[in-house]
Amino acid sequence: MIYQSEIELTTNGHRDLQDITKLAEHELAASGLKSGVLHLFNIGSTASLGTIEFEPGLKRDLPELLDRLIPPSPQYGHEQAWHDGNGHSHLQATWLGPSLSVSFADGKLVLGTWQQIFHLECDIKPRHRRIVVTAIGER
Amino acid sequence: MIYQSEIELTTNGHRDLQDITKLAEHELAASGLKSGVLHLFNIGSTASLGTIEFEPGLKRDLPELLDRLIPPSPQYGHEQAWHDGNGHSHLQATWLGPSLSVSFADGKLVLGTWQQIFHLECDIKPRHRRIVVTAIGER
Amino acid sequence: MIYQSEIELTTNGHRDLQDITKLAEHELAASGLKSGVLHLFNIGSTASLGTIEFEPGLKRDLPELLDRLIPPSPQYGHEQAWHDGNGHSHLQATWLGPSLSVSFADGKLVLGTWQQIFHLECDIKPRHRRIVVTAIGER
């Protein structure tokens, strides 16, 4: 069986990492499904989803790491064509990926104690985000 | 319900980034499914799938970024064992990942306006590629 | 239909890359399903799953690459808060991702000849790991 809905988020722009675990759990509960996989997909090419221990240290470290390895730069082809200052945003989001799928059993996400679901805004300005949630499973 | 098929691609070798969104949409339409998740998997260890704003700037930027962070090198253990010149191809493809899953609703992929599905050839020579497409969903 | 089970692993700590393809194939066979997607999810925030040509060269190269780009460092916010020496472990695992999904057809995983499923321990000490396996498919 399939249950599908959306999570909506407002972000503060580049480096805004949010814990969306409770929002995902809420959608899973609404699905009424007991075992399967919960799939989340960020609509748009400049934000990403994943899992992390959501604590203040890593909340700073992950965006810093991305900016160190994939920094803003006027040298990107994307910048030279569009001059919108977010070439690094696209590359960071593409590399981390737009989707995440998490197993669930007994109606609960099977996450570690220190493992949360994050949404990372990579774009350079605040955005309104839509995340499609699809639960695939059995009652 | 499950619908499964394959997309076949011919690539030009290293850095060949192709937009396969229309091919994926075609398979989704053939499935007859309306809501669910479309899963794509590249068979083989030296190519990858993901999403990106498919425009000429980023088409150049993503492969350049991969070659900057994970460059060709004779120092890789893979090179020292096999001498086939594609150690970086394996590492790039492993890091980006072989699969992608995208939500669909009302029979359409739920992608952003500037979000396309790409296949990236990481190997150093032209390849024939097979991508397994599995639609999981409801009519 | 959904089939769900777990794989258990003991790891040797940082850089321990294990080939879990046979374990995944075993679970797929137990499911009795013929076509669909096999989803694997590592419980916990300091290990990862993916695909790679599992040979001794790349078995060394992938962890080395991760340590080069995302090295241990006392500068991470995670270290300054927790002093447990595994900030890089979290960041490596988050970037590579906790899950993998592989297509199957005719009751077999559709992998390339040189494409295996790996589990990578990113934490700095030996760990006991649980990987949730969910087969989604048809008989």
**pLDDT tens digits for B21-57?**
999 999 999 999 999 999 999 999 999 999 999 999 9
Residues 6 or more apart whose CB falls under 8 angstroms from that of A23 comprise A7
Structure tokens at A64: 């810093």
Residue range A78-93: mean pLDDT, rounded: 95
| A50: contact with C, CB 8 A cutoff | yes
The CA distance from B57 to the nearest CA of chain C, in Å, is: 24
Residue range C50-57: mean pLDDT, rounded: 98
Strand partners of residue A40: A100, A133
Please, which pLDDT band fits residue A126 given cuts at 50, 70 and 90? very high
**pLDDT tens digits for C92-135?**
999 999 999 999 999 999 999 999 999 999 999 999 999 999 99
Structure tokens at A86: 């977010």
Residues 6 or more apart whose CB falls under 8 angstroms from that of B20 comprise B7, B9, B40, B49, B117, B118, B119, B131
**What is the model's pTM?**
0.98
Cβ contact (<8 Å) for A77 and B97?
no
The CA distance from A56 to the nearest CA of chain B, in Å, is: 26
Which residue in B7, B123, B134 has the most chain C C-beta atoms within 10 A of its own C-beta, making it the best mutation to test that interface? B134
Please, which pLDDT band fits residue A80 given cuts at 50, 70 and 90? very high
Contact between B96 and A92 under an 8 Å Cβ cutoff? The reply is no
Please give the angle made by the CA atoms of C113, C33 and B98, to the nearest 5 degrees: 40
Domains located in chain B, CATH noted: 2-138 (2.60.120.460)
Residue-averaged pLDDT of chain A:
97
Counting as low any pLDDT under 50, the low residues of chain B are none
Q: For residues A15-54, b (16+ Cβ closer than 10 Å) or e, as one string?
A: bbbbebbebbbebbeebebbbbbbbbbbbbbbbbbbbbbb
Strand partners of residue B7: B131
